[in-house]
Structure 1
Amino acid sequence: MTSVATPAVTPAPGLAGQAPSSLAESITLADIARAHDVRFLLATFVDMTGKPCAKLVPVEAAGELEAGAMGFAGYAAGLIGQKPQDGDLIAVPDLSSFTPVPFIREGLAIIHCDPHVDGKPWPYAPRVILKNALARLADKGMQAKVGAEVEYFLVKKNDDGTLSTADTRDDSPRPCYDARGVTRMYEHLTSISDAMNSLGWGNYANDHEDAAGQFEQNFNYADALTTADRVVSLRYILNILAEQRGMTATFMPKPFTDRTGTGLHFHLSLWSGADALFPAGEGTDDDERGLGLSSLAYSFIGGILDHAPALQAFLAPTVNSYKRSGATTSSSGATWSPRKASFGGNDRTHMIRVPDSKRIELRSGDGSANPYLAIATAITAGLDGVEKSLDPGPPSGPGESKPDAHLLPATLLHAVEALRKDPVILASLSGDPDIGTYYSDAKEEEFLSWHNQVSDWEIRTYLTSI
């Protein structure tokens, strides 16, 4: 729940230790690994749910990985558009994503990969989907920069299967920013901060969030692909370092009924080279709404709002997501989760918050969102608004929304139905509506799988009701 302004200077894209693009052809993955005393590589990609998939590759085989000799059974990997009879997914490493993680294991590094099939990027792979969305943006002479706020809970699983906060003293109904809660988790928080800073991410704040057991650790924004890679890497780092301390780091949107849920907020901006495109130009009539934004920025907002119901299938992609967005209150008194597609100024009740003229904050995503798919679909929606010069109308006031604003979906099934009715977002995955249909069918099946389970609530409510 950061309120820190976007840094004035953009950090260089990519991760610490990356090979400069001008040298990419002459420097091999093995060269980079050995320069960082790396002995093993986690060749990593994610499926559509965001699950990290990897093979542990010794540096001696880095040349085989780089040459495209590392195959995965795609159907076994997860939701990624393959059947058991299909050929291998080949992991093609992106050298600019090289991420040494000696704080996890000495001599270990992560390398993010683009899955290929038959020598071509696999269009169902989330990282490929984002790259395709960014290519379309580049065709318009624009680039996207993105910041991400990664919230999470630190919990322990009890013998009876219930969850409790890892810090048993963290039990206040309103613990946000509590200095004592941060201090008790000092070793964990500082280890994550040190890890991010060792990678050049620029960690600038670590805080206790609104729910007992909930934290957020912020890092500088970068180009869209780099930020998505960093979210995936950070989730992995958080999981492993928490496990080493006997805790579980969870990004589940709503692990506790009575507490605030977990968000994944994105700060989005468009650029043309070194020129920021969201601030209103001096001496223009762009900013008639008073938020300091250009007409392009307002149209980008208009596109996101116009496609908001369908976007939620990617921003809030699980059954549990809608326990968070459907909540009316929490122990702290607020949910921090929008229920309508509205926008306004520095107001966290809206789907889109405009904290300053450089960026917009998309607040309807939650911790289960796949960062590649969430960013790709949001950019597609915003670009559609730019191409159509959509007018989002006047901003809503504090805590208000316009009567005609889209209601956000009430359940995952509602989000799937909205996605199926939205041809722009349905085709936003590598430009192929069949991929959108594949995803929506899988999410409908996920919803029905949950719906078919008899819950404790049903037993309590219906067992003797008649």
Structure 2
Amino acid sequence: MPVLLGGTGDTIANNTRDSTEIPTAPQLSSRMKHIKEEMTKNHLQFVRFEATDLHGVSRSKSIPAHFFQEKVIHGVCMPRGYLELIPNPKDKEVDHIRATCFNSDIVLMPELSTFRVLPWAERTARVICDTFTVTGEPLLTSPRHIAKRQLSRLQDSGFSLFSAFIYDFCIFGVPEIINSKTISLPASALLNDHDQPFIQELVDGLYHTGANVESFSSSTRPGQMEICFLPEFGISSADNAFTFRTAVKEVARKYNYITSFFIETGFCNSGILSHSLWDVDGKKNMFCSSSGIEQLTTTGKKWLAGLLKHSAALSCLMAPAASCRRRYFKESKDLKGSVPTTWAYNDNSCAFNIKCHGEKGARIENKLGSATANPYLVLAATVAAGLDGLQRNDGVLAAPQDSTDLHPSKLSEIPLKLEDALMALEEDQCLRQALGETFIRYFVAMKKYELETEETDAERNKFLEYFI
């Protein structure tokens, strides 16, 4: 059986490491004492053991609170198919995973530092879990495991990641009819300054779960909102995004709303990863020049070079469905199969926007992502690509206003079709090695299965039902 994972969340090291250390008895006792006090204080009845599936959607089991300590030790079992999402592997499409293994259980083991009382769920708390096989091995398709492994690699290289997600989402009135084919939606709700109790409860609730919201605002369309989180070190930014994806749905229901990561035309909203690279102690932003010049340092340019080089494969993980990739078409004036990967300073239209203003210092906004992408995979792939840039001497693509002594790299392209992006991911040896052969093969098989079984004109409804 697996053992309880460590990680108190108190230091950068605990947030970036793979959290394989077994807590000492005093540490475990201290954490459990604090949790028991919270459970008594809030009269908790249930605790959700939550894990992310490959789409970044929460899959959970709720247990009566009086069983919590027992489940901390032994874990909670869940069918593996809930997380891996291929209904029936056949014809050896994933030949390294036997059908009997796919149909087995996995074990959810809680990371106690993520235990939080849920303000929007009555007398309920949650804890985020890592996933293991019944023999105690980490599940190699687990997005959170993959993200923690990349953060560990980054720390071994002497760096830490300081990051935050920025999400767009849409608010609709609750539909009157839902069936397997159609969702009937009335006109989207328009929130204004006099109608914000839903957003206010959401932001306050997120704060109490440890996910600090820096700002929220109305966006370009009626009912479309943007929410920005405060940056944090390590895995916490992805945990916050994961928490938000469930919270926004549950709080909306209380106000007779439905929230979606799709706008009314069926396009995906954006999901941006804003990030910067810091030293391992979290004291110095490695993207900032000590001279105060508002441009990336050489370290930052090398990191950016890695993102540019791997942008085709990155886009597969960050816009993982045909509808997600439609947002790339706005950059295309013809029927080409790809668009250039653009970057610039303080230009929100670019795939990689380098912001050098404000108290946060220089940071890169990775804007390839849609709001439906799994935040753990977005973080993991970004780190893997950036690390490759640091370890190579390929140079960066110079912007018109940027003078640099680094040699420009080959112009990179973003495929418009998901099929081409899947091929780019399969051919990207760096990401294959970083994210793991097992994960890459499984992810590609899952996406090909989705493409083969996709119903014409039904994609938006399918995704609305799933991501609502």
Same fold (TM over 0.5): yes
- CA-to-aligned-CA distance 1:6-57 (integer Å, 9 cap, x gap): xxxxx98799xxxxx8963222447414425233111000111112111101
Asked whether 1:361 is paired with 2:365, we answer: yes
1:135 counterpart letter in structure 2: S
Match of 2:114 among 89, 92, 97: 97
Counterpart residue number, 1:317:
320
SS state at 1:149 partner: strand
SS state at 1:182 partner: coil
Asked whether 1:350 is paired with 2:360, we answer: no
- CA-to-aligned-CA distance 1:127-180 (integer Å, 9 cap, x gap): 11111111111111211111110211112446463444431xx4xxxxxxxxxx
- CA-to-aligned-CA distance 1:234-261 (integer Å, 9 cap, x gap): 1111001111222211123x5415xx74
1:367 counterpart letter in structure 2: A
Match of 1:127 among 114, 129, 144: 144
Distance 1:46 1:202, change over 3 A: closer
Match of 1:115 among 119, 124, 131: 131
User: Where do residues 21-40 of structure 1 align in structure 2 (5 Å cutoff)?
Assistant: 24-29=27-32, 31-36=34-39, 37=42, 38-40=44-46
User: Where do residues 52-451 of structure 1 align in structure 2 (5 Å cutoff)?
Assistant: 52-79=58-85, 85-86=100-101, 87-101=104-118, 103-117=119-133, 118-156=135-173, 157=175, 159=177, 161-167=183-189, 170=190, 181-252=191-262, 254-256=263-265, 261-272=268-279, 273-282=281-290, 291-327=294-330, 339-356=339-356, 357-396=361-400, 405-429=411-435, 432-450=436-454
- Between the aligned partners of 1:358 and 1:241, the Cα distance in structure 2 is 34
**TM-score under structure 1 length normalisation:** 0.80
- Between the aligned partners of 1:65 and 1:152, the Cα distance in structure 2 is 35
Pairwise CA distance, 1:203: 2.4
- Between the aligned partners of 1:58 and 1:202, the Cα distance in structure 2 is 28
- Between the aligned partners of 1:297 and 1:99, the Cα distance in structure 2 is 35
- Between the aligned partners of 1:291 and 1:446, the Cα distance in structure 2 is 44
CA contact (8 A) 2:110 2:128 kept: yes
- Between the aligned partners of 1:403 and 1:212, the Cα distance in structure 2 is 41
- Between the aligned partners of 1:131 and 1:263, the Cα distance in structure 2 is 24
Distance 1:220 1:454, change over 3 A: closer
Pairwise CA distance, 1:209: 1.0
- Between the aligned partners of 2:151 and 2:343, the Cα distance in structure 1 is 24
Pairwise CA distance, 1:280: 4.0
Distance 1:211 1:414, change over 3 A: farther
Distance 1:158 1:278, change over 3 A: farther
- Between the aligned partners of 1:255 and 1:129, the Cα distance in structure 2 is 33
Counterpart residue number, 2:90:
none
Pairwise CA distance, 1:343: 1.4
Distance 1:205 1:182, change over 3 A: farther
Q: Which ranges of structure 1 fall in alignment gaps of 5 or more residues?
A: 1-10, 16-20, 171-180, 330-337, 458-466
- Between the aligned partners of 1:244 and 1:48, the Cα distance in structure 2 is 27
Q: Which ranges of structure 2 fall in alignment gaps of 5 or more residues?
A: 1-9, 16-22, 87-93, 333-337, 403-407, 460-468
CA contact (8 A) 2:75 2:110 kept: no
1:223 counterpart letter in structure 2: F
Aligned length: 406
Pairwise CA distance, 1:367: 0.7
Distance 1:454 1:66, change over 3 A: closer
Pairwise CA distance, 1:416: 0.5
2:197 counterpart letter in structure 1: E
